[in-house]
Structure 1
Amino acid sequence: MFVDHAEIKVVSGRGGDGAASFRREKYVPRGGPDGGDGGRGGDVVFEVSSGLATLRDFRYQHVFKAESGRPGSGSGSSGRQGKDMVIPVPQGTMVIDEAGRVLADLVQPNQRYIAARGGRGGRGNIHFANATRQAPGFAERGEPAEEKVVTLELKLLADVGLAGYPNAGKSTFLSRISSARPKIADYPFTTLEPNLGVVDFEGGGFVVADIPGLIEGAHQGVGLGLDFLRHLERTRVIAYVVDVSGFEGRSPVEDFRNVRHELAMFSPDMAARNALIIANKMDIPGAEANLDLLAATAKEQGYEVIPISAVTGQGLQEALYRLADLVKSSPAPEGPVVEVQPEEPPTNLSDFELHYNAAENIFEAQGIAIERLVAMTDLSSDEALLRLQRLFRKIGLEERMKQAGAEEGSLVRIGKNEFELDLSNE
């Protein structure tokens, strides 16, 4: 089964806790702090793999977690870093966040994108010793893991996209010009998933994408049209495959107009690309008359028509040379975005917003750096709490609360924790 859409959850590794330990050696009765740092958590990384063609594997696994960092230990020993979680994806995969923003468009071989960055390891107590605090009995906790839900969307990478009605002969055409072997039968909707074929001949090689047949309303999602149309977005050239046999009274002219209309409604840019009309099934009686009507319409709109029979091989060589020429002269479509790598979180503790939540009668301080500070503080340690209180005062939290109307004993929520601050300036 061809799977081109998946929603997964990625969780980076948590940073390891720093160690609070002291040097213990014979004849060294007052050894100082020697707690090592915790190891950094592993990242979650998407990496393009040439061995994958679909997102099928994501049907069975929806959560991907990197390894957490190990805690530090005595003698200044740092904890081991967590292993990255590397997720292989096929070339052409887009990573999209919950807000619909495209974070990365993975189109290059072996391209990588860090989707969730591992937490920083906590500092050991060796870092908190100073002239007035020579034996700190606390250390930092590791930075919490980063987690997010992302959508993976695969768009095939091809030079030529075949567009047409069901049973127009697209799959037969692909099988005759490449080594691809799509399912072929004499009834509509035989092709239910996209197929890729590589054309290699003396006129130049290129990749062709055959998508399932389009029907009226495809640009609105009718007949899974949206799922299929997006696979044509990366192609340089559109090849409209039209059945000119007049099967069951169909009009080749109307078929061409309708398919082009669906492309234009889905993406005006895609409909404006260089295109070629391939008039298929010329081996069937009555096709010549229909070809003349189609050629007249195509000439009015500036399109060239190549008559072929995918069954007998008539016109295939001419069609290949013409498509190769169009591929060479057509620019590649511009990508939707440039890759957006997650940045290291800010470290300015003073950069936070303070709000009063009247419904809960509590102040709320919100900022990446201050929330990370609290999350990495060992709240079970009185020494660590005293340091945190001093930092709150240093960055102006207490003063800003006073200005906002806070009184003695007012509560402030930072992240998941609540504090009763002493505003007496004592």
Structure 2
Amino acid sequence: MTTFVDRVTLHLRAGKGGNGCVSVRREKFKPLAGPDGGNGGNGGDVVLVADPQTTTLLSYHHSPHRSAGNGGFGMGDHRSGALGESLELPVPVGTVVKDADGTTLTDMIEPGMRFVVAPGGRGGLGNAALASPKRKAPGFALLGTPGWEGDVVLELKTVADVALVGFPSAGKSSLIAAMSAARPKIADYPFTTLHPNLGVVQAGDIRYTIADVPGLIEGASEGRGLGLEFLRHVERCTALVHVLDCATLEPGRDPLSDLDVILAELGAYPVPEGQTPLLERPQVVALNKIDVPEARELAAFVRADLEARGYRVFDISTVSREGLRELSFALAGIVEEHRKALADAPAPERIVIRPRGAEREFSVRVEGGSYGPVYRVLGEKPVRWVQQTDFQNEEAVGFLADRLNKLGVEDELVRAGAAPGATVVIGEGDGIVFDWQPSMTSAAEVMVAPRGTDPRLDQNPRRTTSQRRERYHELMDAKAAARAELETDRFEEDE
């Protein structure tokens, strides 16, 4: 049964924004008192939280599909829809978040760190929010936009001060059990640790963490054996302890050859940019199992060669606990020195995020099609506006046309060579396809009043009854004159 998982793929879906409401307020003696449709609620986000109490990604291995709540619909009387419930996912400290293509999105290295990995959709505006002096009674509202949906990859990289590296069965698990309160699986037969174990070591006034990670074999940097599953957990460690088995009975193995294999694999592993290569970090050698007489003799034989290479060498036994105190305090000194260097280092440069200036908010790309060129409009705003449009409402379609025209899409289409009737697609993929007509209008413009207005609401209380009567007769006279002119034109055509 799987008990430890350090890499999973999550299938996430953020909440959808609620639709805006189309509503007109009605009062006694005033049946049309103006629009009062509320806005839709925003969809919930999916948020990753670095939690020190979480040590594995096992729960996401069993349940990889996660979704946040949708926003509520707007209602009349200016009532906004409920906000969608956000979903918080605790992950271990040290989790790296990547997209489906492998690009790193963030590194959760600080406890309590939060990252919105899937933002929720926007709630649509109701007709009350869309009202303006020129659009007094909008007969439409905006739809909510969908939330982000896709896959992200979580990779756990152990956060520890010291990493124990070595061949399988070298005694790393026994060493961490002897130095800390950690209780990894230990047996008296050859086997390898299948997942990292963390332990806390107290050496005088210094406390540090030590990691026992899966055993290393030749070819691990190329993925052989546990391969990268092991080396990924060494990236964040301050110091490395080479645990060498001096009591091995396998033919062709000895402490020096084991060390050469380990160094070759550590040197071949590419660490992320900005991090110190593994072989340039502080390293010490622990010659293990000296409680065996033959192992003690071998440790004494290879000590001179190891010290000649520049390593600090410690003879240890996890059974008799010989040499563990000296090793523990030596590692504490390395960790303390590293922490002081970090404290004395200059503070990292602050990243200042400024609003984008007058950058181009869309682009037009000309593509070849079966029946002529296709003009594809790309950009965050045009795509979002299309998502917010109810295409069953002609007034809403006209409002979309006005927004696109104001953004400059029509002018850009003309410059790209688009002619009336050309195929225009907004967004990637299939997108939304239009048969483009310059200055697109909706059926709402057929009315005498401008789009989004209602003559019944345009009653100026300052006008007297006689002024309204005069205005009415003026309109009727103009209408009669237009009808007479139309009849004259028809008579002349008949002649």
What's the TM-score once normalised by structure 1's chain length?
0.93
Cα distance between partner residues in 2 of 1:108 and 1:98: 23
Question: Identity percentage over the alignment?
Answer: 39
CA contact (8 A) 1:203 1:321 kept: no
- Pair 1:384 & 2:396 matched: yes
Structure 1, residues 30-52: CA drift from partner, whole Å, max 9, x if none?
21111111111111100122321
Structure 2 residues not aligned, in runs of 5+? 272-276, 343-347, 442-495
SS of structure 1 residue aligned to 2:21:
coil
SS of structure 1 residue aligned to 2:293:
coil
Cα distance between partner residues in 1 of 2:354 and 2:177: 46
CA contact (8 A) 1:179 1:197 kept: yes
CA contact (8 A) 2:405 2:439 kept: no
From the CA coordinates, give the structure whose radius of gyration is larger: 2
Residue of structure 2 aligned with 1:357, choices 363, 368, 373: 368
Residues 326-341 of structure 1 correspond to what in structure 2 (within 5 A)? Answer: 326-330=334-338
CA contact (8 A) 1:4 1:54 kept: yes
CA contact (8 A) 2:362 2:377 kept: no
CA contact (8 A) 1:104 1:338 kept: no
- The Cα of 1:225 is off from its aligned counterpart by 1.6
Partner of 1:138: 140
CA contact (8 A) 2:425 2:432 kept: yes
Cα distance between partner residues in 2 of 1:63 and 1:402: 45
Partner of 1:96: 98
- The Cα of 1:424 is off from its aligned counterpart by 7.5
**Residue type matched to 2:215 in 1?**
G
CA RMSD across the alignment: 2.7
Cα distance between partner residues in 2 of 1:193 and 1:420: 59
* Greater RCO, CA 8 A, separation 6+: 1
- The Cα of 1:68 is off from its aligned counterpart by 1.1
Cα distance between partner residues in 1 of 2:203 and 2:308: 32
SS of structure 2 residue aligned to 1:241:
strand
- The Cα of 1:299 is off from its aligned counterpart by 1.9
Residue of structure 1 aligned with 2:285, choices 277, 289, 304: 277
- Pair 1:301 & 2:298 matched: no
The structure-2 alpha-carbon separation of the partners of 1:203 and 1:303, relative to structure 1 and needing over 3 Å to count, comes to farther
The structure-2 alpha-carbon separation of the partners of 1:208 and 1:134, relative to structure 1 and needing over 3 Å to count, comes to same
- The Cα of 1:423 is off from its aligned counterpart by 3.0
- Pair 1:256 & 2:248 matched: no
CA contact (8 A) 1:234 1:332 kept: no
- The Cα of 1:326 is off from its aligned counterpart by 1.3
Residue of structure 2 aligned with 1:80, choices 75, 78, 82: 82
Greater helix percent: which structure? 2
Residue of structure 2 aligned with 1:315, choices 323, 339, 347: 323
SS of structure 1 residue aligned to 2:329:
helix
Partner of 2:461: none
**Residue type matched to 1:260 in 2?**
L
Structure 1, residues 399-419: CA drift from partner, whole Å, max 9, x if none?
322332322211211132111
The structure-2 alpha-carbon separation of the partners of 1:211 and 1:218, relative to structure 1 and needing over 3 Å to count, comes to same
Cα distance between partner residues in 1 of 2:194 and 2:381: 50
The structure-2 alpha-carbon separation of the partners of 1:112 and 1:332, relative to structure 1 and needing over 3 Å to count, comes to farther
Range moving further from structure 2, 7-16 or 352-361: 352-361
**Residue type matched to 2:239 in 1?**
V
Cα distance between partner residues in 2 of 1:155 and 1:200: 23
Partner of 1:243: 245
What's the TM-score once normalised by structure 2's chain length?
0.80
CA contact (8 A) 1:349 1:370 kept: no
SS of structure 2 residue aligned to 1:258:
helix
CA contact (8 A) 2:118 2:148 kept: yes
Structure 1 residues not aligned, in runs of 5+? none
CA contact (8 A) 1:168 1:280 kept: yes
- The Cα of 1:267 is off from its aligned counterpart by 4.2
Partner of 1:325: 333
SS of structure 2 residue aligned to 1:330:
helix
SS of structure 2 residue aligned to 1:86:
strand
Range moving further from structure 2, 245-254 or 170-179: 245-254
The structure-2 alpha-carbon separation of the partners of 1:122 and 1:286, relative to structure 1 and needing over 3 Å to count, comes to same
The structure-2 alpha-carbon separation of the partners of 1:199 and 1:151, relative to structure 1 and needing over 3 Å to count, comes to same
**Residue type matched to 1:351 in 2?**
F
